[in-house]
Amino acid sequence: MDDLKFGTRNKRGDYAPNARLESAPLFVWPPRPAKLLAWLPHYFLPWNALFFAFGSVIWFYATPAKETLANFDWRWIGYLWLRNSAIVFVLYGLMELRLYIRRAQGNRFKFNGLFPADKKSDVFLFKSQNIDNFVRSFGTGVPIWTAYEVVMLHLWAIGWGPWTTFEANPWALVILGLLIPLIHEAHFFCIHWLIHQGPLYKYVHSVHHNSVNPSPWSSLSMHPVEHLLYWSDILIHLVFPSHPLLVLYHLQLSGTGAVVGHIGFDKVEVGEGAINTQAYSHYLHHKYFEVNYSDGLVPFDRWFGTFHDGSKDGEAQMEKRFAAKRARMNKTQS
């Protein structure tokens, strides 16, 4: 497939799609119902539907019985950790194998023309981005993800919290299920902006941003403090009537879903066609650091002036904002 039919590549070999990034037409005025209806399938497909399917399979076939979850026991806790580790290892690993080890589509549609394995850096463990990302993902990422899951499932099993059933409150659960991607986006923007400030960036979030050229293994490569903040949106299920199925969907959205913004390719080739990854917005954040704190489902970045649509105009607006920031800092220091 010829990627230059869909975008351009600069002298360094970096790829950029032709189409500008747009926020979802959910929060616009005046309302645009026709555009909203045309966009609506993209709210579910492919990613949110896939993560809901993962959560459903896990709930029905790979979660211990309620009686088991009611009592803390290292056997079922260890099982959840192994299960989550296997999901990440298989899903992320297959993407990494195909796109970054076998390099099945070369650098077609690849935002950064280089591959992480080809460049060593002292900021990573053993000077390897892949090893560093792998160790952090499985060393603290999956364990903290699992810890949240253990607590939530245990609280459900002992009846602590506003838990309900689909028989008793179907509409409340359906509405919450539909809102989970929006809740995750809002929470992610808030904590993401927070950890870009001062010491939190220097000592915490910079660990993730070491991966300027991200790959699937970069998705959960974070400082433990960031892991704790990242998965804390799951606590919303202790506020509103919920069900463990929605908890597991939410965890899949944030856990396995983290890979979406870190694939590093605009499209993944499948046969004669290609899947649009929707990864460009977050790639621009890794590239420029202070843009696109969220992925555009809710237009927080537009509202707060940190949106970059990938165009030359977006670049100029970003540089103008950076210049104003530097001027303020220089004025403060003088």
For residue range 4-22, what is the model confidence (pLDDT) as tens digits?
999 999 999 999 999 999 9
Residue 145 neighbours by CB distance under 10 Å = 27
Question: So where are the chain's domains?
Answer: 3-333
pLDDT band for position 73 (cuts 50, 70, 90):
very high
Mean pLDDT of 198-211: 97
Handedness of CA 127, 108, 268, 187 (dihedral sign): positive
pLDDT band for position 2 (cuts 50, 70, 90):
very high
d(CA 17, CA 172): 39
d(CA 136, CA 123): 13
* Contact of 20 with 7, CB cutoff 8 Å: no
Enumerate the β-bridge partners of residue 274.
269
329 has a pLDDT exceeding 90: no
pTM over 0.85: yes
pLDDT band for position 142 (cuts 50, 70, 90):
very high
Q: What is the pLDDT of residue 332?
A: 77
d(CA 251, CA 285): 23
pLDDT band for position 123 (cuts 50, 70, 90):
very high
Residue ranges of E strands in the chain: 7-9, 15-17, 267-270, 273-276
**Residue listed under structure tokens 């237009």:** 299
Q: What is the pLDDT of residue 83?
A: 98
